[in-house]
Structure formats: structure tokens, C-alpha cells
Amino acid sequence: MNDQVLGIVAGVLTSGSMIPQLIKTVTTKDASNLSLLIFVILIAGNSIWGYYGFLKKDIPLIAASIFAVSINAVMLFLKIKFSN
């Protein structure tokens, strides 16, 4: 397996790890038990990883970071929308 494929697989798995929580939050319309701060930290950290990926011209890292920021931004929106 080449480095690019390995990077893409790792990025999809780690970035996609939030998808089950996203589905549960949308289904139950409840985000009261989720931490607001975790999504802020994840968005900041993944944005920095994405910038680092641009500096290194690392496509898997850039793609995984964009994917992760997108999912976490949706979760942040849902946390604000569905919190009691």
C-alpha cells in the first residue's frame, strides 16, 4: 500500500469517527450531553493540520482536515441548535 492511500484511509477513519455521533444527534435532536469546547478545539486543531498539509503539499492530510473541520462544524452547529 503506498503512502497516499494509507494517509487517505487513516484520514477517513479518524475524521469519520464523529459520524455516528452526528447521526445520533440529528436523530434524537439532543446535544445537551456534548461539550461545546471539544468542537471548538477540534475545529481549531484540524484547521491547523490542514494548513500544515498545504505547507507540505500533502493531499491526504489536506483532505482529511477539510473533512474533519466540516463534520465538527456541523456538530458545533447542532450543539448550539439542540442544546437545552
Q: What is the pLDDT of residues 10-58, one digit of tens each?
A: 888 988 899 999 999 999 999 999 999 999 999 999 999 999 999 999 9
**Considering its fold, how many domains does the chain have in total?**
1
Q: Which domain holds residue 40?
A: 3-82
Residue 78 near residue 26 (C-beta atoms within 8 A): yes
What residue type is 57 in one-letter code? K
pTM: 0.88
d(C-alpha 7, C-alpha 2), whole Å = 9
First to last CA, the chain: 47
- To the nearest 10°, the Cα dihedral for 20, 53, 59, 37? 10
- CATH number of the domain enclosing 40: 1.20.1280.290
pLDDT band at 2 (very low <50, low <70, confident <90, very high): confident
